[in-house]
Amino acid sequence: QVQLVESGGGLVQAGGSLRLSCAASGLTFSMYFIGWFRQAPGKEREFVAGIRRSGSTLYADSVKGRFATSTDNAKNTVYLQMNSLESEDTAVYYCAAGKYSNSDYEIHYWGQGTQVTVSS
């Protein structure tokens, strides 16, 4: 059974930082495209960042230069370092695993999400 478990969310002031973690069981992260998504109240879930099997990363324009995703294959854990947080970053953040090809992704597994709240 595949499980993705996010942690590290919380309340932070604007301009602050948080690091989210996503630990996997039942799959090996290095074999998948790993994505970070978020959903703010009243909005659709949106892509935030991703890391391909090659290790290359991609980011939404709204977080480029502020967020960074990385993996620790030994721990089968993925991280999302979030710096210079803004109130617009407030959302539930999800990690997900799937496939990436032809500049598109297909998600097979989702975590349960972790709340990030940025106070202004």
pLDDT digits (tens, 9 = 90+) for 89-109: 999 999 999 999 888 899 999
pLDDT tens track for 50-72 = 999 999 999 999 999 999 999 99
Is the CB of residue 12 less than 8 Å from the CB of residue 23?
no
What confidence score (pLDDT) does residue 44 get?
97
Burial of 69 (0-12, 13-18, 19+ CB in 10 A): buried
pLDDT of residue 97: 97
Beta pairing partners, 57: 51
pLDDT level of residue 8 (50, 70, 90 thresholds): very high
CB half-sphere exposure, 43, CA atoms < 13 A: 14
30 in helix, strand or coil?
helix
Q: Distance (Å, rounded) from C-alpha 30 to C-alpha 11?
A: 30
pLDDT in the model for residue 102: 83
Instruction: Report, as an integer, the average pLDDT of 75-86.
Output: 97
**9-46 confidence digits (pLDDT tens):** 999 999 999 999 999 999 999 899 999 999 999 999 99
Q: Which residues of 18-44 are buried (b: 16+ CB within 10 A; e: fewer)?
A: bebbbbbeebebeebbbbbbbeeeeee
